[in-house]
Amino acid sequence: MNRFSGKVALVTGGASGIGAAIAARLAGEGAKVLIADRNAPAATSGAIRYVETDATKADDVSAAVAVALDGWGRLDILVNNAGIGAYGETPDMDEALWDQVFAVNIRAIYLFCRAAIPALRETGGTIVNIASISGLFGDYGMAAYNASKGAVVNYTRSLALECVRHGIRVNALCPGLVETALSAPGLEQPGDRAHWQERIPMGRPARPDEMAAVAAFLASDDASYMTGSIVTADGGITAHTGQPNIIARRQMREAAAE
Ligand SMILES: NC(=O)c1ccc[n+]([C@@H]2O[C@H](COP(=O)([O-])OP(=O)(O)OC[C@H]3O[C@@H](n4cnc5c(N)ncnc54)[C@H](O)[C@@H]3O)[C@@H](O)[C@H]2O)c1
């Protein structure tokens, strides 16, 4: 597939994890990609460039959009992927950490959209926001993350409405557990991985390239009738009410009795 030939994309947080996989996928399908990250990616190329950016700083954000426009003359795709996690219950949550989670996970999206939408109007471009299933439901000990990702989900809908008359589509991807640096702390203690996997109907975390495939679909003309959509890719986690698997428990009892 070469769905992005002649197109220019900007991927925030594209130096690692899901963002790096999205940058590689878009470039692999013909796009020129600018990674805007506070850290440098492992490699750049003719098709993938890098600009050091703190996505929470308005000046950095405007400068990053200008680098894409100065370098390649247009902007077709904005992927708002930069994000951070934070564990902690509310009474123990440090105010500065709460603010930083909101600054990266939602304020940065507003800043990038504000800076990029004028250029996206010129191309009839598209925005893909990387939210999370944690923006759809609650998790234990992840209040700041849950609240910030919930904001991404509803901001996506609102942005879709304000952008529709300019021919700009705006959608969000809600990944489940993806194997990256961000999810690593939740998987590193003995037994944690098995505990996670029991809760994922597909029985495993996703690879970043599996998220990139969905993000690329949303960014492509294959999704031409989609805007304001909140798309989950979570191995079935959110298909589940949380109630026990009665049939599996019955089968276990029967097997034990044999
Ligand atoms: N990994 C998962 O299980 C998972 C699940 C659901 C959603 N997500 C979301 O996917 C996105 C990517 O996460 P990931 O798992 O690839 O994490 P990651 O830590 O591998 O990558 C995040 C990237 O964002 C960059 N970044 C962080 N703060 C920044 C800032 N202020 N300015 C610029 N860049 C900044 C980091 O340098 C890093 O390259 C995040 O929005 C995350 O919330 C991840």
CATH number, domain of 110, equals 3.40.50.720
Give 27 Cα–ligand 1 centroid separation in angstroms: 19
> Would 155 be classed as within a structural domain?
yes
pLDDT tens sequence across 38-92: 999 999 999 999 999 999 999 999 999 999 999 999 999 999 999 999 999 999 9
> Would 92 be classed as within a structural domain?
yes
For a pocket test of ligand 1, which of 18, 101, 179, 218 has the largest count of ligand atoms closer than 8 A to its C-beta? 18
> Would 1 be classed as within a structural domain?
no
Nearest CA to ligand 1 atom 36: 13
> Would 181 be classed as within a structural domain?
yes
Comparing CA positions, the residue from 135, 145, 123 lying closest to residue 238 is 135
Report the C-alpha dihedral over residues 223, 102, 66, 72, rounded to 10 degrees: -30
User: Does 83 contact ligand 1 (Cβ within 6 A)?
Assistant: yes
* Separation between Cα atoms, residue 68 and residue 66, nearest integer Å: 5
User: Does 17 contact ligand 1 (Cβ within 6 A)?
Assistant: yes
> Would 2 be classed as within a structural domain?
no
pTM of structure: 0.97
Q: Which domain holds residue 104?
A: 8-257
Give 257 Cα–ligand 1 centroid separation in angstroms: 48
pLDDT tens sequence across 22-49: 999 999 999 999 999 999 999 999 999 9
Return the active site residues: 145
Question: Which pLDDT score is estimated for 186?
Answer: 87
Number of helices (H), then strands (E), belonging to the chain: the values are: 8, 7
> Would 3 be classed as within a structural domain?
no
> Would 199 be classed as within a structural domain?
yes
- Position 5 pLDDT exceeds 90: yes
Question: Which pLDDT score is estimated for 14?
Answer: 98
The tally of domains found in the chain comes to 1
Hey, what are 76's tokens? 């077709």
> Would 125 be classed as within a structural domain?
yes
Strand extents, DSSP E, 13-152: 32-37, 48-52, 77-80, 126-130
